[in-house]
A and B are shown apart, each in its own frame.
Chain A
């Protein structure tokens, strides 16, 4: 390759690295904390936030409009002008020069239409930040502080407790389902806390990994993990529900406090509670679409549910969710439904209403079916909720770690100081020992660090203290490739070779030594990254990336710099150390 091609390749690599790094730079450097906080919230929170904020703005504009319809649009809303102009253009009309409120509102068909523009704006701003977060390097718990828990699900015990109802050949399927169920339960229970971006995922066949960044109420979360899900049936108070919804429509932002408690408890009857009614959105996440006020008194405890399945109605072919109660439950349920024909009954699971059905007639005998024009997914969700009542998967905490946020901050500080000192010492040493050629090594090391961060960012890797240690170590080891080349060049120079010949031979002769030594380290690092967990993995991944990028910088970048000096700067000698006659 000639020099120009090599330079283009180098610049392309650097540009690509910058693209990878951009989300991290944007998130950590350019996103204000309050926006970070909003972006880390659940999609449900983001949605309701955008709705409420939009409603507030539209109300304010309408108020201004009522006062003076020919007033000019306030500066804070000037962003909407673009959209207004576009709408006029679509209607083949020319937008008036002066954007009065009347002109602005005239561009929209309805208030809903107008409001949706505001909603989109609020939502997009947060979602953009969220996207940056998703594509950036994450800080591990030891750097950000927080809590992580690994829970083991005892699937064999769950299988045993299910007894004969599961055939032996279905055992594997049953375990899979039980596991999915356990994760689902934990997620929805943890959701209740409204924490910022908790991570819950399956690890291996029977382990669940939970990570809660920032600070969390450790004892409450422990209790919640070990506790059983709460499922019950409760009577709905329709009258109170309607009056609550009217109140909520008026005061959407000030009905609940930050932890979801009512600010003013007197708006619903004292024997009632208000819960959101949830469905699954297209991503399988809980999404609230309504409110329901239900009695505090429990009509039937979920533990009486013994099995649940989905069936097609024989006549209408409509989907039904059917469940069976044990003998005691059948009696309670029979009496209760008999007394409340015509009322609504809600299925409440962990403070979320999952289903709400009208009691058509007294249900005796313990076999219940729910109809309501469900599609298959809806029916399946209700079935899963009911399953939680009898599908008992014992959980055991295998490991737990809680680290204070300030401790994390201290670790970041330590890591940065160690990088600066380590890099600084190495650079000074290389400059003294190899004189001007040391500059090549210095540039190679700085690029090395840059490429390492970019690759970590590209893989959305989690940065921990041990991966920082891996990086620092890689810097130390990466100098090795440069040293090998420089020593070889020195040898050639000692034998009286010219600059360009010495450089060319030096790189060629050092090539296999560099490759062999780095490939062996790379094998070790890759293997550890694949098999290791926690600190070993973080460390190995940085080491593997560092090995690759150090080979690139030492062989490619440093060579290019030497050649540039030879051909463009017409250098005749090599400044590569002390006591070498040229």
Chain B
């Protein structure tokens, strides 16, 4: 027989700790607020790099040539009725410098690659994402990744405006800069973006500015996302509660819902105090924890129901709770551990919003395990203080008789 732990002793202390944490979170929310992402707070985020291009490339001919550049190679996909339809790959393990690469590329009919810094390493090249990759008469610039000489202050000086938030991503010569600015009703995306870009161009020169990524969300969009998110969260919780109420007794169902609301609040406490950006991806993490937490609680409730039948000798409801929690303890820990493996590997490998997502998940998972053991059971235990063995699953004899 497995050992039965006396979990019920922990019910009151854990409830106090959880309440304290949640109050701490509310304080954080009131004093610091939540760092809302673009989805909820409209604006423009643009990530740029500033560097002198190492080469430019242009094409004069009737074929359709598109250029793909990755860390290991450059592909030129040549199609069209006047061409042989082929993909020319240039492997950077062989063509180590820009000079060597240009020598090969210039052999293709109609393509001109002008070298400006021939000795640069080919594996560290990138393109401006806001420019087409189709080769035409207009030159496309190829940028080096590690030669940035500007600083956050230079960018700020270039934009010279209040209400602009500039953040350096990466360090040293490899840095890129994230520019964030809010929008107000009536601002159009095009105007804001053009004005930002124009300022950068005039300070650093048009061909020296490469846009890595832009993100714009207007005021209307962000408002509807916020409303939708709140509706979505409430509906998910209600649906889960309805299903649990059908499958289990009402206090079990309520206990499980309390546990998942607890997890949500703990995650918000974490998001609040770490200043993590709250985006729709983070919201997805919260909603997954909702699903995950209910999953963990339901397994325990199922066991309680089973043990109710199996333990006619039990005098107090807490005995059944303790037995059920002990029975499912291995499972609770194991499932959390395997899921943590998955989430930690996400955290290790990804960057940006998915990294935040995994971090929020890690907190949520641990909280989910904890709440399914202590918080929901504490609630059920409190509800069934006056439980007698002859009540069975019910709260009192009255309902038992009514059922019969």
Is there a chain B Cβ closer than 8 Å to A417's Cβ? Answer: yes
Q: Give the segment of B95-103, B151-159, B297-305, B390-398 that binds chain A.
A: B297-305
Interface residues on A, range: 35 or more
Is there a chain A Cβ closer than 8 Å to B168's Cβ? Answer: no
CB distance from B283 to the nearest CB of A (A): 6
Q: Is the CB of A513 within 8 A of B302?
A: yes
Contacts A399-B217, A513-B298, A513-B303 given; does A34 touch B85 at CB 8 Å: yes
Chain A residue nearest in CB terms to B218: A398
Q: Is the CB of B85 within 8 A of A258?
A: no
Those of A462-509 within 8 Å (CB) of chain B: 465-466, 469, 472-473, 475-477, 479-480, 483-484, 487, 491, 494, 509
What A residues does B134 contact at CB under 8 A?
A: 215, 258-259
State which of B71, B75, B243 has its C-beta within 8 Å of the C-beta of A33: B75
Main secondary structure of the interface of A (DSSP, over half): helix
Q: Is the CB of B239 within 8 A of A524?
A: yes
Chain A residue nearest in CB terms to B294: A520
Q: Give the segment of B8-16, B28-36, B332-340 that binds chain A.
A: B332-340
What A residues does B345 contact at CB under 8 A?
A: 417-419, 421-422, 425, 472
Is there a chain B Cβ closer than 8 Å to A369's Cβ? Answer: no
Is there a chain B Cβ closer than 8 Å to A164's Cβ? Answer: no
CB distance from B240 to the nearest CB of A (A): 5
What A residues does B218 contact at CB under 8 A?
A: 152, 396-399
Q: Is the CB of B337 within 8 A of A429?
A: yes
What B residues does A217 contact at CB under 8 A?
A: 130-132
Q: Is the CB of B288 within 8 A of A253?
A: no
Is there a chain A Cβ closer than 8 Å to B184's Cβ? Answer: no
Q: Is the CB of B361 within 8 A of A473?
A: yes
Q: Is the CB of A406 within 8 A of B341?
A: no
Q: Is the CB of B340 within 8 A of A476?
A: yes
What A residues does B69 contact at CB under 8 A?
A: 405-406
Is there a chain B Cβ closer than 8 Å to A246's Cβ? Answer: no
Q: Is the CB of B236 within 8 A of A517?
A: no
Q: Is the CB of B338 within 8 A of A429?
A: yes
Q: Give the segment of B76-84, B111-119, B264-272, B313-321 that binds chain A.
A: B76-84
What B residues does A535 contact at CB under 8 A?
A: 279-281, 284, 353
Docked CA distance A265–B236 (Å): 63
Is there a chain A Cβ closer than 8 Å to B63's Cβ? Answer: yes
Docked CA distance A150–B42 (Å): 14
CB distance from B341 to the nearest CB of A (A): 4
Those of A236-266 within 8 Å (CB) of chain B: 252-259, 263
Q: Is the CB of B343 within 8 A of A476?
A: yes
Those of B318-351 within 8 Å (CB) of chain A: 327-328, 330-331, 334-335, 337-346, 348-351
Q: Is the CB of B216 within 8 A of A401?
A: yes
Contacts A258-B64, A527-B236 given; does A404 touch B81 at CB 8 Å: no
Docked CA distance A219–B189 (Å): 11
Interface string of B162-189 (1 = CB under 8 A from A): 0000000000000000000000000011
Is there a chain B Cβ closer than 8 Å to A310's Cβ? Answer: no
What B residues does A430 contact at CB under 8 A?
A: 338
Docked CA distance A294–B338 (Å): 69
Is there a chain A Cβ closer than 8 Å to B149's Cβ? Answer: no
Chain A residue nearest in CB terms to B78: A34
Is there a chain A Cβ closer than 8 Å to B195's Cβ? Answer: no
Q: Is the CB of A414 within 8 A of B349?
A: yes
What A residues does B225 contact at CB under 8 A?
A: 533
Docked CA distance A401–B212 (Å): 11
Q: Is the CB of A472 within 8 A of B346?
A: yes
Chain A residue nearest in CB terms to B305: A512
Is there a chain B Cβ closer than 8 Å to A27's Cβ? Answer: no
What A residues does B4 contact at CB under 8 A?
A: none
What A residues does B133 contact at CB under 8 A?
A: 214-215, 405
Q: Is the CB of B190 within 8 A of A223?
A: yes
Chain A residue nearest in CB terms to B328: A487
Is there a chain B Cβ closer than 8 Å to A48's Cβ? Answer: yes
Is there a chain A Cβ closer than 8 Å to B211's Cβ? Answer: yes
CB distance from B351 to the nearest CB of A (A): 7
Is there a chain A Cβ closer than 8 Å to B62's Cβ? Answer: yes
Interface string of A255-279 (1 = CB under 8 A from B): 1111100010000000000000000
Q: Give the segment of A1-9, A131-139, A452-460, A536-544 that binds chain B.
A: A536-544
Q: Is the CB of B302 within 8 A of A512?
A: yes
Q: Is the CB of B302 within 8 A of A479?
A: no
What B residues does A35 contact at CB under 8 A?
A: 85
Docked CA distance A307–B59 (Å): 45
Those of A382-438 within 8 Å (CB) of chain B: 396-407, 409, 411, 414-415, 417-419, 421-423, 425-426, 429-430, 433
CB distance from A433 to the nearest CB of B (A): 7
Q: Is the CB of A421 within 8 A of B335?
A: no
What A residues does B61 contact at CB under 8 A?
A: 257-258
Choose among A254, A399, A525 the residue with the greatest number of B CB atoms under 10 Å from its CB: A399
Contacts A398-B221, A405-B68 given; does A516 touch B357 at CB 8 Å: no
Contacts A33-B75, A49-B81 given; does A402 touch B298 at CB 8 Å: no
What B residues does A539 contact at CB under 8 A?
A: 281, 284, 288
Chain B residue nearest in CB terms to A416: B349
Q: Is the CB of B235 within 8 A of A527?
A: yes
Those of A42-60 within 8 Å (CB) of chain B: 48-49, 52-53, 56
What A residues does B349 contact at CB under 8 A?
A: 414-415, 417-418, 421
Q: Is the CB of A429 within 8 A of B341?
A: yes
Choose among B216, B306, B331, B341 the residue with the greatest number of A CB atoms under 10 Å from its CB: B341
Those of A103-140 within 8 Å (CB) of chain B: none
Docked CA distance A223–B189 (Å): 11
Q: Is the CB of B228 within 8 A of A531?
A: yes
State which of B129, B287, B342, B358 has its C-beta within 8 Å of the C-beta of A215: B129
Q: Is the CB of B127 within 8 A of A422?
A: no
CB distance from B91 to the nearest CB of A (A): 15
Q: Is the CB of A406 within 8 A of B70?
A: yes
Contacts A396-B218, A483-B331, A520-B294 given; does A426 touch B342 at CB 8 Å: yes
Q: Is the CB of B214 within 8 A of A400?
A: yes
What A residues does B215 contact at CB under 8 A?
A: 399-402
Q: Is the CB of A254 within 8 A of B240?
A: no
Q: Is the CB of A531 within 8 A of B131?
A: no
Q: Is the CB of B62 within 8 A of A425?
A: no
What B residues does A480 contact at CB under 8 A?
A: 295, 331, 335, 338-339
Chain A residue nearest in CB terms to B240: A520
Is there a chain B Cβ closer than 8 Å to A166's Cβ? Answer: no
Q: Is the CB of A528 within 8 A of B236?
A: yes
CB distance from B209 to the nearest CB of A (A): 12
Interface string of B217-229 (1 = CB under 8 A from A): 1101100010010
State which of B62, B78, B239, B291 has its C-beta within 8 Å of the C-beta of A253: B62
Q: Is the CB of B330 within 8 A of A487?
A: yes
What B residues does A259 contact at CB under 8 A?
A: 134, 136
Q: Is the CB of A523 within 8 A of B287?
A: no
What A residues does B127 contact at CB under 8 A?
A: 215, 404-406
Q: Is the CB of A407 within 8 A of B129?
A: yes
What A residues does B135 contact at CB under 8 A?
A: 258
Other A-B pairs, 16, CB within 8 Å; known A421-B349, A476-B340, A516-B299: A32-B87, A33-B68, A33-B87, A34-B77, A34-B85, A214-B133, A217-B130, A397-B218, A399-B218, A403-B129, A414-B354, A421-B348, A472-B345, A476-B342, A528-B284, A531-B231
20 example contacts (A-B, Cβ-Cβ < 8 A) are as follows A33-B75, A33-B87, A34-B79, A145-B129, A217-B131, A218-B129, A218-B130, A396-B188, A402-B214, A402-B215, A404-B213, A409-B70, A472-B346, A483-B334, A484-B331, A521-B292, A523-B243, A524-B294, A535-B280, A539-B284
Interface residues of chain B, those whose CB is within 8 Å of chain A, are 1-2, 59-66, 68-71, 75, 77-82, 85-87, 126-137, 188-190, 193-194, 197, 211-218, 220-221, 225, 228, 231-232, 235-236, 239-240, 243-244, 247, 279-281, 283-284, 287-288, 290-292, 294-296, 298-299, 301-303, 306, 327-328, 330-331, 334-335, 337-346, 348-351, 353-354, 357-358, 361
Q: Top 5 closest A-B pairs, CB basis?
A: A404-B129, A476-B342, A476-B339, A52-B81, A253-B82
